[in-house]
Amino acid sequence: MSNILRNDRGSVLITSVLILTLLVIIGISATNTTTIELQIAGNDRFSRKDFYNQEANCINAQVHWNDWLSDLLATGDDVYFPPDTPSIDENNNGIDDRSEFVDSTGVVGAYKVRKIVNSSIDAKDWATNDPANKVPLLDHTDKPPASSGFGQDLVIARYAITSYSNINNRKAIIQVGVYKVFQKSNQ
Per-residue confidence (pLDDT) for residue 22, from 0 to 100: 96
Per-residue confidence (pLDDT) for residue 19, from 0 to 100: 96
Per-residue confidence (pLDDT) for residue 24, from 0 to 100: 96
- The pLDDT profile of the chain, 187 residues, written as one tens digit per residue, is 566 666 777 788 889 999 999 999 999 999 999 999 999 998 888 888 888 888 988 898 888 888 777 755 666 666 677 766 667 878 777 777 778 888 887 788 888 888 776 555 544 445 555 666 666 656 556 666 677 777 777 777 778 888 888 765 667 788 888 877 777 654 4
Three-state DSSP class for residue 101: strand
Per-residue confidence (pLDDT) for residue 137, from 0 to 100: 59
Backbone angles phi, psi at 39, to 5 degrees: -65, -40
Per-residue confidence (pLDDT) for residue 93, from 0 to 100: 76
Closest to 126 (Cα-Cα) out of 79, 90, 158, 91: 79
Per-residue confidence (pLDDT) for residue 125, from 0 to 100: 47
Residue 110 C-beta-side C-alpha neighbours within 13 Å: 18
CB 50 within 8 A of CB 172: yes
DSSP state of 11: H
DSSP state of 145: P
DSSP string for 41-92: HHHHHHHHHHHHHHHHHHHHHHHTHHHH--HHHHHSS--EES-SS-S--TT-
How far, in Å, CA of 68 to CA of 87, rounded?
A: 12
Per-residue confidence (pLDDT) for residue 142, from 0 to 100: 67
How far, in Å, CA of 78 to CA of 72, rounded?
A: 6
Per-residue confidence (pLDDT) for residue 11, from 0 to 100: 81
Per-residue confidence (pLDDT) for residue 187, from 0 to 100: 42
How far, in Å, CA of 67 to CA of 51, rounded?
A: 23
